[in-house]
Amino acid sequence: MKLVFILDPLASLKIYKDTSMAIMREASQHGHQLFVSMQHDLFLRGSQARIRTQPFKFTADGFESCVASEGNPEDFDAIIMRKDPPFDNEYLYSTYLLEIAVNQGAKVFNDPAAIRGWNEKLSVTRFAQFAPEFLVTANNVLIREFLNTHQDIVVKPLDGMGGSSIFRLKLNDPNISVILETITQHGSRTIMAQRYLPEILQGDKRIIVINGEPLPYALARIPLTGETRGNLAAGGTGFAQPLSTRDYEIASTVGKTLKQEGLFLVGLDVIGGHLTEINVTSPTGMVEIAAQTDCNPASMMLDALAQHLAQ
């Protein structure tokens, strides 16, 4: 297959632990042709979607990419969108351009319209039966009422990643006002509040779902001592563990809808028995699961992709 990966700048990627790199390395070992593009390498010339791509190869010292050339997105077997959030206007524009490419015959994973439609925080509201109690608002009075009800909550922006700007609030916190003013930008930015889940101490579980099917292992990300967030980017430690019965119930139920929506590779975040986020942009965790189990998520993803494209 000829595969294009839309990535963050290559120099910013950690080759030894990045999930995109793991997928690409596996694809290289399977003999697939690899190409990389940055977010702004996709553009329109008139009404025609075009993309600039660089051939990419792994080397003994890392990797090398060659001179970029321009082509039609539909000339590749698959375009895999792996640009990290934040989901700002530029990200939004990228989904529009990718959608135009899809309408002209390109095969893009995840589906760009679905990426746009599934906010990673708000999407849990589609499965309220699995979510903890939550509130979505920019109104600080409503957030305080929610805090008064639940005594212990977490507040987070709707466009973050890696645990950035997530705060835990208790009733006796002396910084409630300044935290709420900051995170809501004085009531001008909508955020999500969720009831704090003490099960976070046993790990914020990342469950990878490929074409509707969950992997048999989750990556439980254990927070640092004194830390609320389990994200690896926030210093958490990942431990692979088999899915529990509840994990599988959540992942298989959500997975059916994800597949219908064209969301091929997704990372669910589960704390205790509650679904807290649905990561559709560039979910991670493959490297850690592969290192600790007999499961090879990157290989499974490529096999599922090949099967999907052959249909």
Which positions are catalytic? 121, 156, 206, 221, 229, 269, 277, 279
Find out whether the peptide bond into 110 is cis, omega within 30 degrees of 0: yes
Q: Can you say whether the dihedral through the CA atoms of 182, 185, 186, 190 is positive or negative?
A: negative
**d(C-alpha 47, C-alpha 261), whole Å:** 26
Residue 288 φ/ψ region, left for φ over 0, alpha for ψ in the -120 to 50 degree band, beta for the rest? alpha
Q: Are strands 191-195 and 134-137 parallel, antiparallel or unpaired?
A: antiparallel
Q: Can you say whether the dihedral through the CA atoms of 177, 182, 183, 187 is positive or negative?
A: positive
Sheet with 237-242: list strands edge to edge. 237-242, 213-222, 204-210, 265-271, 274-279
Distance from first CA to last CA of the chain, Å, rounded?
A: 15
* Nearest in space to 140 (alpha carbons), one of 171, 182, 173: 182
Give me the half-sphere count of Cα atoms (radius 13 Å) on the Cβ side of residue 215.
Answer: 31
What backbone torsions phi and psi does residue 290 show, to the nearest 5 degrees?
A: -65, -35
* Nearest in space to 275 (alpha carbons), one of 259, 257, 290, 261: 257
